[in-house]
Amino acid sequence: MPGQSVTRSLRKRSSSASLSELQWLLLARMLERNYSVRDAFESLSRTYPSSRAIRNICSGLKEGISLARLLGSSPFERELSFYVDFLSLDKSIMVVSRQLKKEKTIVSRFAGKIGYQVMLLLASFGLLFLFSQIVLPNMMSMLALADERSESVMAVFRVMNIIRDVLMILIVLFVLFVLYIIIRKRENYLWVYLHHHGLDRPLKVYATYRFVIRLNCMLENGISLIDALNVLRHDDSTRMVNLLAHHFDEVLLNGVDFEKSLDMAYFDDDFHSLCLLGIRSDDFNQALEDYEYMVELKLDRILTRLSGVIQAVCYLFVAAVITMGYQVLLLPLQLLQEY
């Protein structure tokens, strides 16, 4: 039965591996040379005869299944399954490749910085816990210390533990709040609420930055601004970008001048200024790249300052642990001097 054949093909495809990015880029080159989609996949299957993923797509296309339903679950193919509904396959492949490379570069550039500081903070918290809960009580019992000075040392550690616990609770609550917003898909509700109270500056910069990255990836591949906005406004995977693209597209469709359309309340003010300069110099793409560079530079400075704060907190905890431990070791000598 045809329906059963389609179901079997989809089931087979969902359990198989995805194509590599290199294979997709090779496919895009063939499509640019006027291959049809089916012929391009057939040619690719001859180049990679052992690839089950390519064979499954070829058989699915012969059965009349749309390419979007045949794509796998890799990050590349998840993005591609959205774009192929709006753009040609070769354009979709090039846009997704460019987009994922940019995002990977950004993550590798900034995650390494903050990741080291987070590990340092956790290590200092662990050292404090180990010393105050295990090492210090054993030292106190072995040295038989129970006077007011030893109690003052213990009080200092109790205060430090309270500070540590408060910091950990705040961090955990923040992470849980962010996860709740993302899982419940409430990013835009939060943004609108903060915007009404004038507290949305960080979210505005973040959303504008992601919007610019995705928009620029399409413009660089020859897609018109209107078509690019039409794609972004339907992308539910990036809801804040979706909101920006929706309002921007609606303003343009209503006949508002392009320069005035950039002066939108949800856009970052710096984006508006840079775009005006780009329009006047007849280089809108360069303006987008300048905005990306400016935001990355600002983020780099913020992370540098944040790293300094985290390091200061860690060094403070470690210095306090060492100082208090040294004081405990000196207590027996102080007691002997009194006698």
**Count of CB atoms situated within 10 Å of the CB of 62:** 12
pLDDT single digits (tens) 234-253: 888 888 888 888 888 888 88
Q: Is residue 156 predicted with pLDDT exceeding 70?
A: yes
Residue 154: what pLDDT? 73
Rounded Cα gap, residues 243 and 58, in angstroms? 37
What average pLDDT is seen over the chain? 82
What's the pLDDT band for 112 if we cut at 50, 70, 90? confident
**Count of CB atoms situated within 10 Å of the CB of 27:** 23
Rounded Cα gap, residues 129 and 198, in angstroms? 40
Residue 107: what pLDDT? 83
Q: How far is CA 316 from the centre of its chain?
A: 30
Strand (E) or helix (H) holding 312: helix 284-338
Under a CB-based contact definition with an 8 Å cutoff, are residues 95 and 105 in contact?
no
Tokens of 31: 């499509």
Burial class (CB in 10 A: 0-12, 13-18, 19+), 335: middle
Q: Which of 172-176, 280-284, 325-329 is predicted most confidently?
A: 172-176
Residue 12: what pLDDT? 45
Which one, of 241, 250, 249, lies nearest residue 208 by Cα?
241
Strand (E) or helix (H) holding 9: helix 2-14
Tokens of 87: 């753009």
Residue 138: what pLDDT? 72
pLDDT single digits (tens) 86-97: 999 999 999 999
**Lowest-confidence pick of 63-72, 93-102, 141-150, 280-289:** 141-150
| SS3 assignment, position 265 | coil
| SS3 assignment, position 223 | coil
